[in-house]
Amino acid sequence: MNDIGEAGTWSVGDLHSFLQGSWSLYRTMNDLRLNMPGVLRGDVHILQAGGGDDTGDLVYREQGELNLGNHREAIDRTYVYKFPNHIKAPGQGEVHFEQGGLFHLLDLSSGFQKVLYTGKDDTYRGTFSVLDCDTWHVNWFIAGPAKEIIIDSRYQRRAN
């Protein structure tokens, strides 16, 4: 896992504005139990939800192709970013599953955050690092009875 510490990160003054736009996604995965590496290449679009205002919800839509060993699969994943305290804490938000449940809080005001999500069977330990206004990384270690996976994702803003 390429864990990036707080040193060298870029603080985010307005998380809502920072996230909006189109991003290229390059993700490496390593299934530790199967000793199987994988790669996902794709695109992420983070756009205003249904005509909301400038601080309303954002919809994260990830599409790409996963190559894991001999397995190939099209990926289509959606999350919803919410900003309930945008005025007082513009560097903070919430990441929700598409079905509505809270995944984790997100505070990139320092450019760096560690998060923890404990699901029914699995535990997700994540690190978010913002390198500059156009680049951010997310690293996950996912452990549970049936899995042990390291995921490293790099997001690069696409030029308009």
| CB 66, CB 40: distance < 8 Å | yes
For residue 62, what are the domain limits?
A: 15-157
How far is it, in rounded angstroms, from Cα 9 to Cα 11?
6
The residue ranking higher by pLDDT, 54 or 68, is 68
Q: Across all residues in the chain, what is the average pLDDT? A: 93
The tally of domains found in the chain comes to: 1
| pLDDT band, very low/low/confident/very high, at 1 (cuts 50, 70, 90) | very low
| pLDDT band, very low/low/confident/very high, at 87 (cuts 50, 70, 90) | confident
Q: What's the confidence (pLDDT) of residue 50? A: 79
Q: How far is CA 80 from CA 83, 149, 159, in A?
A: 10, 24, 23
pTM, to two decimals: 0.92
| pLDDT band, very low/low/confident/very high, at 53 (cuts 50, 70, 90) | low
List pLDDT tens digits, range 22-34.
Answer: 999 999 999 999 9
Q: What's the confidence (pLDDT) of residue 94? A: 98
Task: Tell me, yes or no, whether 30 lies in a domain.
Answer: yes
Domain of residue 22, CATH code: 2.40.128.20
Task: Tell me, yes or no, whether 7 lies in a domain.
Answer: no
Sole residue written with tokens 């894991």 = 68
